[in-house]
Structure 1
C-alpha cells in the first residue's frame, strides 16, 4: 500500500479510518453509546451518526443529488443526538451503507474532476478524499478517547 497509486492509496486510507470508527463502537452497550463524557452532545453514538452525515454531505450530495450544496437538510444537533430508536447496530449499519454509497458516488469521477461547492467555489474529488480522511481520522481520535473513558480499551 505504501507504493500504491494515488487513488487506491486514498481509498484505502479512508477505509482504514472508517474501519477504525466502526471498531470503536463495537462491543459497547446501548447505554455506553449514549453516555455523555464531555459537556457537548458528543457521544460514541453521536460521532458515528455525525460521520454518516459527513459521508452524505460531501460525497452523495456534491457528487450526485445536490451538486454544489453540501449543506445539512436538518438541524445540526440532529446528527449529534442518538434517538431512542438508534442502536449501536443500526448506527453502524447506516454508517457502512453511507460509506458504500460514497464509494459508488466517487467511482464515476477521476481525482482531478472538480465539482461546484457553494462556499468554496469548487473542489476536486482528490480534495474530497483528503478532507474525508482528515475528518474521519479526527473523529476516530475522539472515539479513541471516549472508548478509553468508557472501558479502558
Structure 2
C-alpha cells in the first residue's frame, strides 16, 4: 500500500512496535498532520478570526509552530552564523501575530516546508546527539522530539477547539 493512501491517523499505530525513533517521529508527524487538517479549507477570515481573548487564531498557531520547527531543529542542530535561537516569551508571543503577507496558503506552505526541513535535519543525528541550548544548557535530539510532540500536540488541541468554534468540525481527521 502506498504511504500516501494510509489513513493519516495511523502513523503511531503502524509504529507501535518500531524503534524508539520511529515511534517518536510518528507521533510528531501525527500531530503536525492534525494541525494542518484543522487549518485546511479555511478562508482567510476564518483562519485569522479571534475566538478567544488571547491572540490565538488558527493562522497564528500555524505561524507559531513554523517558528518552533525552525527554532528547535535547524537553528539548534545545524545553525548558521546568522541564526538566532528564539528564547524570549515576547518573541514567541509575537509569532502568533498575523500580517497581510500571512495568507492561509503561505502559512500552510511554510509550515509544511519547515516540518520537512526539521525531518531532514533530525535524520542526520542519533537520538543521543546533544547540542547546546541557550536556556537549558544541553539537550538531546530525543528531548527535542519529545518537546516538539508536546508543543505540537498542545497547539493541535487549541486548533481543534478553534476549528470547532469556527465551523463545528471536530476530530483528528
The two structures have a TM-score, normalised by structure 2, of 0.83
CA contact (8 A) 2:128 2:142 kept: yes
Asked if residue 47 in structure 1 is aligned to residue 61 in structure 2, the reply is yes
Asked if residue 4 in structure 1 is aligned to residue 23 in structure 2, the reply is no
Aligned to 1:63: 77
Aligned to 1:34: 48
Aligned to 2:120: 104
Q: Deviations over 1:47-87 (max 9, x none)?
A: 00000000011111110115996325994443111111211
CA contact (8 A) 1:62 1:69 kept: no
CA contact (8 A) 1:33 1:43 kept: yes
Partner Cα distance (1:103, 1:132) in 2: 12
Partner Cα distance (1:89, 1:69) in 2: 26
8-17 or 67-76, larger mean C-alpha shift: 67-76
Partner Cα distance (2:92, 2:139) in 1: 23
The two structures have a TM-score, normalised by structure 1, of 0.93
Unpaired stretches in structure 1, ≥5 consecutive residues? none
Higher helix share: 1
Aligned to 1:23: 37
Aligned to 2:149: 133
Partner Cα distance (1:86, 1:62) in 2: 25
Partner Cα distance (1:139, 1:125) in 2: 21
2:100 alignment partner, one of 56, 73, 84? 84
Partner Cα distance (1:75, 1:122) in 2: 21
Give the CA RMSD over aligned residues.
1.9
CA contact (8 A) 1:57 1:72 kept: no
CA contact (8 A) 1:115 1:122 kept: yes
CA contact (8 A) 1:69 1:117 kept: no
Number of aligned residue pairs: 153
